Amino acid sequence: MEENKIIGRFKAIKIFLLCAFAVIIAKMVYMNVVQHEYYTNLAENKTYKQVTIKAARGEIRDRYGRLLAGNTNSFVVEVSSDQLTAKGNDANAVALKIINKLIENGEDYEDDFPIVINKNGSFSYTYDKNVKEYKEKNNIPSNLNAKDTFYYLVDSLIEDGTLKKSDRDLEPAELQKKLNNNGYYPPILVKDFEFTDIKNKNDWLESFVKKLDDGTKLEVKSTDSAKVALKKIRQYYGIDESLSDKDARKILIVRNLIKSQGYRTYYPITLASNVSEETVAFVEENTTNMPGISISNEPIRYYPNGALASHVLGYVGKIPSTQLDDYLNNKEKSYKSDDIVGLTGIEGTQEDNLKGIDGYKKVKVNATGKITDELEVKEPVSGDTVYLTLDMDLQKVAEEGLEKTIQVANNGGIYKSDYGDIYTSGGAPNAKTAALIAVDVKTGEVLASASYPDYDPNLFVTGISSKDYEKLQPENPNDTLAASPLLNLVTQGVFQPGSTFKMITGMAALENGLDPNYTINDPGVIKLNGQTFADAVWNKSKSNHGAVNLYKALQESCNVYFGIVGTGTNWVGGKDPGADVDSEKILEYAKLFGLNEHTGLEDEITESIGKVPSEEDKINSTKISLRSYLNLNIIDSFTDIDENDDEEMSKRIDEIVSWIDEDPTPGRGEVMSRLADLNVKEDRIEDLADSILFTYLKFAKWTLSDNLNLAIGQGENAYTPSQVVRYIMAIANGGYLTDLTLTKKIVNSDYEITYENEVVSKKIAFKDSDNLKELIKGMKLVTSEGTAAKYFANFPVEVAAKSGTAERKDKIPTADEYNYLMEHLSSYGVEKKEVLKVYNKLRKDREAELTKNKIKEIKEQLKDKNLDEETRAELEKQLKDGVSEKLADTDKINSAYLRRAIKKLNPSITDDDIDKYKQTYGDFGWAVAFAPADNPEIAVAVVIPQGTTSNYAFLSIKDVIGYYLLGSSDEQTSSSSKNDDSNSDSEDDSNTDNKDSSSNDNTSNSTGSDNKLNFNVQIKK
> How confident is the model at residue 161, as a pLDDT?
64
Residues 64 and 189 in one domain: yes
Give the confidence band of 377 by pLDDT, cuts at 50, 70, 90.
confident
CA-based nearest residue to 957, from 936, 935, 938: 938
Number of structural domains the chain divides into:
6
Mean confidence (pLDDT) of the chain: 86
Q: Tell whether 513 is covered by a domain.
A: yes
Residue finishing a domain among 387, 418, 447: 387
Chain segment 943-995, per-residue pLDDT in tens: 999 998 889 999 999 999 999 999 875 544 333 333 333 333 334 443 333 33
Task: Tell me the C-alpha to C-alpha distance, in Å, between residue 136 and each of 117, 141, 149, 176, 465.
Answer: 22, 8, 11, 20, 21
Tell me how many degrees the CA angle 592-598-601 measures, rounded to the nearest 5. 130
Q: Tell whether 512 is covered by a domain.
A: yes
For 441, counting Cβ atoms within 10 Å of its Cβ (0-12 exposed, 13-18 middle, 19+ buried), the class is buried
The answer to whether residues 925 and 950 touch, using CB atoms and an 8 Å cutoff, is yes
Residues 659 and 542 in one domain: no
Question: What φ, ψ does residue 185 adopt, rounded to 5°?
Answer: -130, 75
Q: Tell whether 789 is covered by a domain.
A: no
In angstroms, rounded to a whole number, what is the distance separating the alpha carbons of residues 491 and 481? 15
Q: Tell whether 798 is covered by a domain.
A: no
CATH of residue 181: 3.90.1310.10
> Hey, which bits of 320-455 come out as E strands?
340-342, 359-365, 371-378, 385-388, 413-415, 422-424, 434-440, 446-452
Chain segment 918-946, per-residue pLDDT in tens: 999 988 899 999 999 999 999 999 999 99
The answer on pLDDT for 1000 being more than 90 is no
Residues 83 and 124 in one domain: yes
Residues 491 and 502 in one domain: no
Chain segment 445-492, per-residue pLDDT in tens: 999 999 999 999 999 998 888 889 889 999 888 888 899 999 999 999
Residue finishing a domain among 900, 915, 930: 915
In angstroms, rounded to a whole number, what is the distance separating the alpha carbons of residues 466 and 713? 41
> How confident is the model at residue 535, as a pLDDT?
87
The answer on pLDDT for 236 being more than 80 is yes
Residues 439 and 347 in one domain: no
| Rounded-to-5 percentages of helix, strand, coil across the chain | 45, 15, 40
Among 105-109, 291-295, 997-1001, the range scoring the smallest mean pLDDT is 997-1001
In angstroms, rounded to a whole number, what is the distance separating the alpha carbons of residues 844 and 885? 10
- Enumerate helices (H) and strands (E) in the chain, giving the number of each: 37, 32
What is the domain range of residue 679? 615-704
The answer on pLDDT for 28 being more than 80 is no
Chain segment 561-572, per-residue pLDDT in tens: 999 999 999 999
> How confident is the model at residue 554, as a pLDDT?
96
Give the confidence band of 247 by pLDDT, cuts at 50, 70, 90.
very high
Q: Tell whether 41 is covered by a domain.
A: no
CATH of residue 533: 3.40.710.10
- Within 8 A by CB and 6+ apart from 360, the residues are 50, 51, 52, 53, 377, 378
> How confident is the model at residue 39, as a pLDDT?
52
Residues 696 and 710 in one domain: no
Chain segment 208-227, per-residue pLDDT in tens: 998 887 888 888 988 889 99
Longest dimension (CA), the chain: 135
CA-based nearest residue to 490, from 398, 406, 588, 407: 398
Residue finishing a domain among 387, 414, 431: 387
Chain segment 129-176, per-residue pLDDT in tens: 999 888 887 778 777 888 888 888 888 777 666 777 778 888 888 888
Residues 29 and 55 in one domain: no
Task: Tell me the C-alpha to C-alpha distance, in Å, between residue 579 and each of 504, 562, 576, 767.
Answer: 14, 12, 8, 14
The answer to whether residues 222 and 125 touch, using CB atoms and an 8 Å cutoff, is no
- Could you write out the DSSP letters of every residue in 256-302? HHHHTTTT-TTS-EEEESS--HHHHHHHHHTTTTSTTEEEEEEEEEE
Per-residue pLDDT, averaged over 864-882, amounts to: 81
Per-residue pLDDT, averaged over 287-311, amounts to: 92
> What distance, in Å, lies between the first and last C-alpha atoms of the chain?
93
Higher pLDDT, 646 or 864: 864
> How confident is the model at residue 1019, as a pLDDT?
25
Q: Is 223 helix (H, G, I), strand (E, B) or coil?
A: coil
> How confident is the model at residue 7, as a pLDDT?
66
For 552, counting Cβ atoms within 10 Å of its Cβ (0-12 exposed, 13-18 middle, 19+ buried), the class is buried
Per-residue pLDDT, averaged over 703-709, amounts to: 88
Residues 607 and 620 in one domain: no
The answer on pLDDT for 50 being more than 80 is no
> How confident is the model at residue 879, as a pLDDT?
86
Q: Tell whether 799 is covered by a domain.
A: no
Among 70-79, 241-250, 642-651, the range scoring the smallest mean pLDDT is 642-651
Residues 854 and 948 in one domain: no
Per-residue pLDDT, averaged over 259-283, amounts to: 83
Helix or strand holding residue 619 (H, E) = helix 615-633
Per-residue pLDDT, averaged over 257-284, amounts to: 84
Q: Tell whether 45 is covered by a domain.
A: no
Residues 457 and 536 in one domain: no
In angstroms, rounded to a whole number, what is the distance separating the alpha carbons of residues 987 and 949? 8
Per-residue pLDDT, averaged over 827-854, amounts to: 89
> How confident is the model at residue 961, as a pLDDT?
97
Residues 716 and 646 in one domain: no
Residues 378 and 474 in one domain: no
CA-based nearest residue to 775, from 536, 535, 555, 537: 555
Q: Tell whether 790 is covered by a domain.
A: no
The answer to whether residues 265 and 254 touch, using CB atoms and an 8 Å cutoff, is no
> How confident is the model at residue 362, as a pLDDT?
80
